[in-house]
Structure 1
């Protein structure tokens, strides 16, 4: 684990911070993928509304959000959803702020996601990444995630595709995927 990055459980008081980090991350990572009008004008309000609603799942125990900090400053976050009927935990969001990518933040968060999921008896992790987000795809694949599906998606008023990625948490599944 990167000793410079610490994770803490988010609280309802962190809702605006999470929404702001989410908007900053998308504005950087999705430039050229999602419409500029959305990224420039609509994103902050849309992410604020999203997280005001999403934190209700956290309050109910259906999900957990962790904030990554470096030297006490927030540099990223992730949201994990309790295991589904197949024993898979959704990594609903995993974002490092621009300027903090490539410094180990994402790896620290993924390590915690695996630990968190195993503690709940999950068999695997899954997530979705936009097909055009090649930087994120490279990040996940370099850490042993494998593409499982391509699905139609709709964001910011446009049709696109998301890729479903899986990460097995036990050796039997890793063997089946050839890892």
Structure 2
């Protein structure tokens, strides 16, 4: 059993572990190894420490009954201002062994509920085109919005959007 809850300020390292481990398992073969080799737990932990105290960021975690964090979602206001969406999922990662257990759906719902409380009525997520999770978002009803080439990752990303957050609740 896994429960979804807001992340605590002292959980940056556990969230970073899920982030880094998920990047390695998800993006190996999609983005160059030289990029993956530069990703560290310390770097990600420092970034999450900042996000956990930023009132514009929300992080929800998926926690097992024994207290292990096995997934997270990070979101807030849409960052670019270039799209007719006012909320954004910045990242969502789940350890491989916890895929296909409805955790992703529960994390999306948690961030959607929080953002709706803040007045967001639409939601955007960017996903690398070759990321298998793209199908997950499409299954939840997200529609293509835009496409960009990320030279630093040597990969294309697609923006997917939900015009109404209510669809995710």
**Count of paired positions:** 163
Structure 1 equivalent of residue 107 of structure 2: 109
1:80 alignment counterpart: 75
Measure the CA separation in 2 of the matches of 1:55 and 1:166: 28
Structure 1 length-normalised TM: 0.81
Distance apart, 1:170 and its partner CA: 5.6
Unpaired segments ≥5 residues, structure 2: none
Q: Is the 8 A contact 2:144 2:161 kept in 1?
A: yes
TM-score for the superposition, normalised by structure 2: 0.85
**Higher gyration radius (CA):** 1
- SS of the aligned residue for 1:99 comes to helix
Contact kept in structure 1, 2:20 and 2:44, CA below 8 Å: no
- Listed as ranges, the gaps of 5+ residues in structure 1 are 175-179
1:106-157 per-position Cα deviation (integer Å, ceiling 9, x unaligned): 0100111221111111021111000111x211111111111111012134xx
- The correspondence for 2:155, drawn from 135, 157, 160, is 160
For the aligned residue pairs, the C-alpha RMSD in angstroms reads: 2.1
C-alpha change, 1:83 and 1:161, in structure 2 (3 Å) is closer
